[in-house]
Amino acid sequence: MSNHDNTPLSSAHHEEEDTPAVSSSKAGFLPIETNWFDRLFISVVIWVALSLLWFRFIEPMGLSIWISNAIALALAVLIISKG
């Protein structure tokens, strides 16, 4: 047990002002400040939405769902690295 861990949270009284816990926040091209978890979440949301729309409108035309997955993956990489 190092001494460091033993310090109770000093700002316990001000929970409203707490910064996000994952503190690698940075400003990317997204309109809000995000950490990597937020960006992963956004990517998953986009992936699901894209897949559902693809099933409904594009797959009947003969284009495979894998194309949509590839697009979603590319978007995810972009968002997580640059977002």
Q: Which residues bind another protein (CB under 8 A)?
A: 1, 5-9, 12-13, 15-22, 31-33, 37, 41, 45, 48-49, 51-53, 55-56, 59, 65
Q: Judged by CB, which is closer to another protein: 58, or 78?
A: 58
Do 31 and 79 contact (CB within 8 A), yes or no?
no
Tell me how far apart the alpha carbons of residues 11 and 8 are, in angstroms, rounded to a whole number: 9
Give the nearer residue to another protein in terms of CB position, either 52 or 74: 52
| Least distance CB 35 / another protein (angstroms) | 9
Residues forming beta bridges with residue 26, ordered by sequence position: 34
**CA 77 to CA 83: how far, in whole Å?**
9
